[in-house]
Structure 1
Amino acid sequence: MTASKSGGPAATAVLPVEQYVAGLARKRMAAGVLFRDRTGRVLLVEPSYKPNFEVPGGAVEADESPWATATRELAEELGWDRPLGRLLVVDYVRPQDSRPEGVVFVFDGGVLDETDLVGMVFPDGEIVSAGFHTLTEARDRVKPLLADRLAAALQAVEQGVTVLCEQGRRIA
């Protein structure tokens, strides 16, 4: 502790910036894109490396923004170069399955139709199929956390807002 300049009570020593930054919490981040058709079904992709389906997207890499991640993942997974729409969901995810806590961003990809999926090629082999599913069907194919996040994202589209979630459940 050191004395303050004013001669008042002692103040706590300030850490050097490097030491302060090294002690900050680290969170994983991911970004996905919600595409839907005119009937409200959502586009899910089937990964080659795990049993559950996902929305297009993935982990944010070092020195990459979540919106850049979403754009990169669309190109890698689906071969698409499309502009992102507005932010629909920010979801805080607690630590689970040996993964640290994280923040997931979901962007609006807009409305597609079946013709957008015809002849689809998956450039990197990470994805084996893609198709539209109702929210009820999606609940059978995705993890419960993503199912809840999808429901929140669809509400955000309908209401024209960005929603905040914890563990996929809307809080605001």
Structure 2
Amino acid sequence: MPELSPESIEYFRTLPRRRVAAGLVIRDDAGRILAVKPNYKDGWLLPGGTVDAGEAPRNAARREGLEELGLDILPGALLIIGHSTFPDPIGDGLNFLYDGGVLAPGTEISLQEEELTEWRFVTVAELPDYFGPHGAFHITSALKGLREGRVIELRDRDEIV
């Protein structure tokens, strides 16, 4: 990293900060989506989580898959980049979802008990019940990106074309 002047450091401190998350869209051979239930909040999530400082989103998705599920999944194609705006204290966030592939029948999942209580495969029709409207929109957009072979950029609940 280049040496920064005190003025540059002050300038960079004034720039906005965003939370960044990365996750995996993992499916079974019936096309259902793997959902995990956290113990620290209501609802369900995709496997994934916060990107650590200095970590690339793709690396974070792989790390989270290993930590949360005991599966070393090499993330495939980037499916969505989602920008979400929430009021304080949550604030803005960026979400990267990657193709987590199709799990072979009988694949053993070792759930991370410190954060997760349960996992299951859910149908596309069930997504709003498990993930709420915002999460369901992200996942259905990721599935669209997978079908169309492209990255879809999202802003809140809108696709940017």
Q: What CA distance in whole angstroms lies between the structure 1 residues aligned with 2:160 and 2:85?
A: 15
Unaligned stretches of 5+ residues in structure 2: 1-5
User: Which of 44, 60, 69 is the equivalent residue of 1:53?
Assistant: 44
- Structure 1 residue runs of 4+, over 3 Å off? none
Output one character per residue of 1:58-109: Cα deviation in whole Å (capped at 9) or x when no partner.
Answer: 0111121111211111111111112110100000101236201011000110
Which position in structure 2 is the counterpart of 1:63?
A: 54
Output one character per residue of 1:118-151: Cα deviation in whole Å (capped at 9) or x when no partner.
Answer: x422134311221111122121011221100001
User: Which of 144, 157, 160 is the equivalent residue of 2:149?
Assistant: 160
Work out whether 1:138 is the aligned partner of 2:148: no
Work out whether 1:22 is the aligned partner of 2:13: yes
| Structural RMSD (CA) | 1.7
Q: What CA distance in whole angstroms lies between the structure 2 residues aligned with 1:78 and 1:98?
A: 29
Q: Is the 8 A contact 1:152 1:169 kept in 2?
A: no
TM-score normalised by the chain length of structure 1: 0.84
User: Which of 48, 71, 74 is the equivalent residue of 1:80?
Assistant: 71
Which position in structure 2 is the counterpart of 1:110?
A: 101
Which position in structure 2 is the counterpart of 1:41?
A: 32
Q: CA deviation at 1:37?
A: 2.1
Is the partner of 1:21 in helix, strand or coil?
A: helix
Q: What CA distance in whole angstroms lies between the structure 2 residues aligned with 1:97 and 1:22?
A: 19
- AA matched with 1:72: R
Q: What CA distance in whole angstroms lies between the structure 2 residues aligned with 1:70 and 1:168?
A: 22
Which position in structure 1 is the counterpart of 2:92?
A: 101
- AA matched with 2:106: T
Is the partner of 2:10 in helix, strand or coil?
A: helix
Is the partner of 2:43 in helix, strand or coil?
A: coil
Q: What CA distance in whole angstroms lies between the structure 2 residues aligned with 1:151 and 1:171?
A: 15
Which position in structure 2 is the counterpart of 1:149?
A: 138
Q: Is the 8 A contact 2:29 2:105 kept in 1?
A: no
Question: Identity of aligned pairs, percent?
Answer: 34
Q: What CA distance in whole angstroms lies between the structure 2 residues aligned with 1:45 and 1:151?
A: 17
Distance 1:160 1:168, change over 3 A: same
Is the partner of 1:122 in helix, strand or coil?
A: coil
Q: What CA distance in whole angstroms lies between the structure 2 residues aligned with 1:57 and 1:37?
A: 17
Q: CA deviation at 1:153?
A: 0.4
Unaligned stretches of 5+ residues in structure 1: 1-14
- AA matched with 1:143: G
How many pairs does the alignment contain?
156
